[in-house]
Amino acid sequence: MATLPAEIIIEQKMINSTSPKYLNIKIIIVAAISAFACFQSCSPSKPPLTGNLPAQLYYTADDYKSVEKINTHVHIRMDDTTFLNLAAADNFRVLNVSVNSPSAPPIEKQRNISVRLIKSYPTRISYATTISVKNWNSEAWQQEMIYFLKESFDMGAVGVKVWKNIGMDLRDKNGKFVMIDDPRFDPIIDFIEKSNKTLIGHLGEPRNCWLPIEKMTVQGDKDYFKAHPQYHMYLHPEYPSYEDQLNAKDRMLAKHPNLRFVGAHLGSLEWSVDELAKRLDRFPNMAVDMAERISHLQYQAVTDWQKVHDFFIKYQDRLIYATDQRVDSTQIPSQRNTEAHESWLRHWKFFTSDEKMKVPKVEKEFKGLKLPREVVDKIYRKNAEKWFPEMAKLH
């Protein structure tokens, strides 16, 4: 058996005691010793929930470039190659996600940009298509969309994104909000599942969206909702509530248990790892991407580091690294790339080190999670390859 740390050896003496007052302690100690011994001799596939592992089981800042990584949520909306060159230099593959948003080019144009980029960078980039709800109220809508998806899959799409306009903007002929569990989506979702593709759902918004600006927890949300009052639900109490959004998504997932689903932006449950854990328990084919919501995990780490750390250990197979960076003609490419690179480094530091950190979107200081290598590999690559199997072939 492996050598035990000193404190366990001291406590081991108590195991030989027959006194009942040691009974509970005995059980705990025996479990601790077994776990430690197993960790020493078993495969490292199950890291212990907490505790320090030998240094070689953690990555450092120096490993950032050499570790293969995937970012499953970016929006490259022009024929720019500088961002992909940066991703390549930092050892990232990316998933370029189309969106049916009024601020994005038409979905056919987004698709063409992705297809051209894939041609130039076949080992660096994949793309996810999306569905348009522009003709929702037409009889032909379902057929049109299934045809568009089939064509997109033939052109290399590995997934399909649905956006928050479903639930927050789209209305039926009677003026009622259309939610994602509307039966008219079912044949389309079935087609995605049958085609062995992944549905990415940005459904609802962060809970902050239903709060006044001054009550919001992170700076990113304050800035976004100040700039986009049309999506700031606190200002639109007649719209579906936060709970309505989550419930509609839950009902859709319950109808499609075999669908491979990625909840974008931590599944809009960014504010509480406990609430997110409940949904991950309930829907085993659901993973979540962290796009633009890592600050919410950092915010929770300010007050409950241990809980956030343990959540990452427990759900290490269900969390996918992503950032939501945009590439469009409104930006200065060099500045955009510098900011992107700096944020990727901050994320790496948060996940791999236990240093104290301050970041632009979180007011207070917090400590890095220092996740074991194996967990880092899962959140940065392996989980993405599982939920988007075609991305595993991009070597």
The contact set with Zn ion (CB under 5 A) reads: 324
Q: How many CB atoms lie within 10 A of CB 376?
A: 24
Residue with smaller CB distance to Zn ion, 74 or 297: 74
Nearer to Zn ion, 324 or 385 (CB): 324
- State the minimum distance, in angstroms, from the CB of residue 163 to Zn ion: 8
**CA dist., res. 219 & res. 390, Å (int):** 35
Euclidean distance between CA atoms 300 and 253, whole angstroms: 27
Rounded distance between C-alpha atoms, residue 105 and residue 108, angstroms: 8
Identify the H or E element spanning 262. Answer: strand 260-263
| Per-residue DSSP letter, 382 | I
From the CB of 73, what's the least distance to Zn ion, in Å?
6
Paired with 320 in beta bridges are: 289
* 74, containing H or E segment: strand 69-76
Minimum CB–partner distance for residue 266 and Zn ion (Å): 13
Q: Between 307 and 326, name the residue whose CB sits nearer to Zn ion.
A: 326
Q: Which lies closer to Zn ion via its Cβ, residue 164 or residue 370?
A: 164
158 three-class SS: strand
Taking the least distance from each CB to Zn ion, the nearer of 192 and 290 is: 290
CA distance 264 to 161: 9
> Closest CB to Zn ion among 80 and 324?
324
The minimum distance between CB 75 and Zn ion, in angstroms, equals 6
Q: Which two tokens stand for residue 95?
A: 């998933």
| Smallest gap from residue 161 Cβ to Zn ion (A) | 8
Nearer to Zn ion, 97 or 118 (CB): 97
Q: Write out the two tokens for 85.
A: 């060159």
- The whole-angstrom separation of Cα 90 and Cα 66 is 8
> At closest approach, how far in Å is the CB of 319 from Zn ion?
17
Q: For Zn ion, give the closer residue by CB, 270 or 324.
A: 324
Kindly state the smallest distance separating residue 322's Cβ from Zn ion, in Å. 8
Residue whose structure tokens are 């609802």: 204
Dihedral angle, C-alpha 199, 204, 205, 211, nearest 10 °: -170
CB of 170 to Zn ion, least distance (A): 18
Give the Cα separation of 74 and 114 in Å (integer): 11
**Cα–Cα distance for residue pair 384/378, rounded to 1 Å:** 8
Residue at shortest CB range from Zn ion: 324
